Amino acid sequence: ELAVRDDRRFRQGLRLSRLPHHKTLDEYDFSFQPDLDPRKVKDLATLSFIEANANAALLGPPGVGKTHIAVALAVAA
């Protein structure tokens, strides 16, 4: 019952977040963007920057996956 309640709370939070789509970092194709270091993205996925009260900026030209990574970090948080 607790697991069902937690799952429902998580899904409701995603719905209320109004993210453009729900992606995870497991779905990100790092071979599509070879200049991106997967270790840096995995480090962001630990969400340690939140605990340090820091910001994370994703910079780059259109079409490189910034939104995918940002959404994946939001879902992980």
Name the DSSP class of 28: -
How is the chain split into domains, by residue range? 21-76
Helix boundaries (H) for 1-65: 2-17, 38-45, 48-51
**Pair 19, 25: CB distance under 8 Å:** no
Q: What's residue 31's pLDDT?
A: 85
CA distance linking residue 45 with residue 43, whole number of Å: 5
Burial 30-57, CB ≥16 within 10 A → b, else e: eeebeebeeeebeebbeeeeeeeeeeee
Q: What's residue 27's pLDDT?
A: 83
Say what the pTM is: 0.72
Task: List per-residue pLDDT tens for the chain, 77 residues long.
Answer: 888 888 888 888 777 777 777 788 888 888 888 888 889 888 888 989 888 999 989 888 888 888 888 888 888 87
